[in-house]
């Protein structure tokens, strides 16, 4: 019998984090041990959807098609973007410093965590004085975002990673077929997203706007998200893999960023943006109106990296996606 979430006998016990079938998957609260911090996680049922946008959609970019029907396995996704508090538990090693200060004996998980590198010391305040705490963590590369997921996996005993581009759009659309998860009217965006017009040119604390139908917040704005995929403008038309698709990274740049941000107006759930070596000074493509776990980036408004954050996902570890995503790491 496949058991979803029962990775080993060394996992951190968390209620509702184990399911023996998709129907038993429930929301749960992930704990960051040795801190008071938590990560809210919601289940995303498996299914099929039409990825991309129709040619008839206004302002559509060429890399948003051709549309293709995609089948995805069930997964869990963080309800909010990863916050600075959650990110700094790794980046500043707050959890391990607190454990040592309180003379708490290390667990096998702590020993694994001690072996994972922390980020390079930043040259300045990476929040740019816009706030930390419950604000989304920004200014990270995709490599840092993936390493955060590696750290969280070691810390909990549950396998976390960045979402694929297909998973991200599927979660953003949340079972809908309209341009946005709430419909086709962009005038309603300000009820769901922090954008240029309502953000006062600064990012906001997570979870203040309306969620999408699957309970995910800030999918259409605030800051954008990294995903696992290599960016390939013609990927939709080239790939013949319609089950849990992934454009496997085979070179360092460019990678895909998804989701709207406060520096631009989100257009739909299918928009994509490429991030490469010149991403700090480059506006490539504007990601769609969704975003979730992934920290990375280093610019703002006209400089896209600074408005890029992240979100985590977790799949059934005995299933195909959970086993096969090691290939997604590719070059740093």
Between 47 and 122, residue with greater pLDDT: 47
The answer to the question of residue 311 being in a domain is yes
pLDDT tens digits for 155-192?
999 999 999 999 999 999 999 998 889 998 888 989 99
Between 224 and 87, residue with greater pLDDT: 87
The pair of three-digit structure tokens given for residue 111, joined into one six-digit string = 């020993």
Q: Kindly tell me if the per-residue pLDDT of 103 is higher than 80.
A: yes
The answer to the question of residue 282 being in a domain is yes
Estimate to the nearest angstrom the gap between the alpha carbon of 105 and the chain centroid.
32
Q: Given this model, what pLDDT does residue 280 score? A: 33
Q: Given this model, what pLDDT does residue 264 score? A: 58
Q: Given this model, what pLDDT does residue 288 score? A: 34
Q: Kindly tell me if the per-residue pLDDT of 328 is higher than 90.
A: no
pLDDT tens digits for 276-296?
544 432 322 333 333 333 322
Q: How many CA atoms lie within 13 A of 107 on its CB side?
A: 14
Between 11 and 127, residue with greater pLDDT: 11
pLDDT confidence band for 301 (50 / 70 / 90)? very low
The answer to the question of residue 11 being in a domain is no
The answer to the question of residue 207 being in a domain is yes
Q: Given this model, what pLDDT does residue 70 score? A: 94
DSSP classification of residue 255: E
Is 283 in a helix, a strand, or coil?
coil
**87: domain range?**
22-326
- Cis ω on the peptide bond leading into residue 254 (within 30° of 0)? yes
The answer to the question of residue 249 being in a domain is yes
329 CB-contact burial (10 Å; exposed 0-12 / middle 13-18 / buried 19+): middle
pLDDT confidence band for 272 (50 / 70 / 90)? low
Between 114 and 206, residue with greater pLDDT: 206
Per-residue pLDDT, averaged over 142-161, amounts to: 94
Per-residue pLDDT, averaged over 144-161, amounts to: 94
Q: How many separate domains does the chain show?
A: 1
Q: Kindly tell me if the per-residue pLDDT of 117 is higher than 80.
A: yes
Per-residue pLDDT, averaged over 246-252, amounts to: 90
The answer to the question of residue 123 being in a domain is yes
pLDDT confidence band for 221 (50 / 70 / 90)? confident
Q: Given this model, what pLDDT does residue 332 score? A: 54
The answer to the question of residue 284 being in a domain is yes
The answer to the question of residue 15 being in a domain is no
Of 22-31, 120-129, 130-139, give the range with the top mean pLDDT.
22-31
Of 74-88, 127-141, 180-194, give the range with the top mean pLDDT.
74-88
Q: Given this model, what pLDDT does residue 293 score? A: 32
CA–CA separation, 109 vs 319, rounded Å? Answer: 23
Q: Given this model, what pLDDT does residue 36 score? A: 94
Mean pLDDT taken over the chain:
80
Is 315 in a helix, a strand, or coil?
strand
Enumerate the H helices of the chain as residue ranges. 84-91, 94-101, 108-114, 142-156, 165-173, 235-238, 320-324
CATH code at position 32: 3.90.1580.10
Per-residue pLDDT, averaged over 303-311, amounts to: 57
pLDDT tens digits for 6-50?
445 589 999 999 999 999 999 999 999 999 999 999 999 999 999
Q: Given this model, what pLDDT does residue 127 score? A: 81
């Amino acid at each position: 019998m496949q058991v979803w979430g029962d990775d080993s006998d060394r996992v951190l016990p968390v209620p509702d984090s184990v399911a023996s079938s998709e129907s038993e998957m429930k929301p749960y609260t992930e704990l960051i041990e040795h801190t008071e911090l938590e990560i809210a996680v919601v289940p995303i049922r498996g299914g099929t959807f039409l990825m991309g946008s129709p040619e008839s959609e206004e302002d559509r970019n060429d890399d948003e098609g051709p549309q293709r029907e995609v089948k995805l396995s069930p997964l869990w996704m963080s309800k909010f973007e990863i916050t600075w508090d959650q990110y700094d538990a790794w980046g500043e090693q707050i959890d391990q410093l607190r454990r040592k200060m309180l003379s708490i004996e290390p667990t096998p998980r702590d020993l694994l965590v001690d072996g994972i590198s922390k980020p390079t010391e930043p040259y300045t305040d990476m929040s740019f004085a816009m706030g930390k705490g419950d604000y989304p963590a920004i200014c990270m590369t995709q490599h840092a975002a993936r390493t955060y997921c590696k750290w969280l996996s070691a810390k909990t005993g549950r396998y976390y990673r960045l979402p694929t581009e297909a998973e991200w759009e599927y979660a953003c659309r949340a079972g809908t077929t309209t341009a946005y998860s709430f419909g086709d009217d962009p005038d309603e965006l300000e009820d769901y997203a922090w954008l240029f017009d309502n953000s006062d040119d600064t990012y906001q604390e997570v979870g203040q706007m309306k969620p999408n139908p699957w309970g995910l917040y800030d999918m259409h704005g605030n800051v954008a998200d990294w995903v696992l995929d290599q960016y390939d403008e013609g990927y939709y038309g080239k790939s013949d893999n319609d089950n849990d698709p992934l454009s496997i990274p085979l070179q360092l740049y460019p990678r895909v960023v998804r989701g709207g941000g406060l520096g631009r107006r989100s257009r739909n759930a299918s928009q994509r943006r490429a991030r490469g070596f010149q991403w700090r000074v480059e506006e490539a493509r504007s990601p769609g109106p969704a975003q979730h776990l992934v920290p990375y980036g280093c610019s703002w408004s006209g400089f896209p990296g600074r408005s890029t954050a992240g979100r985590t996902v977790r799949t059934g570890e005995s299933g195909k996606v959970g086993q096969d995503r090691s290939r997604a790491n590719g070059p740093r």
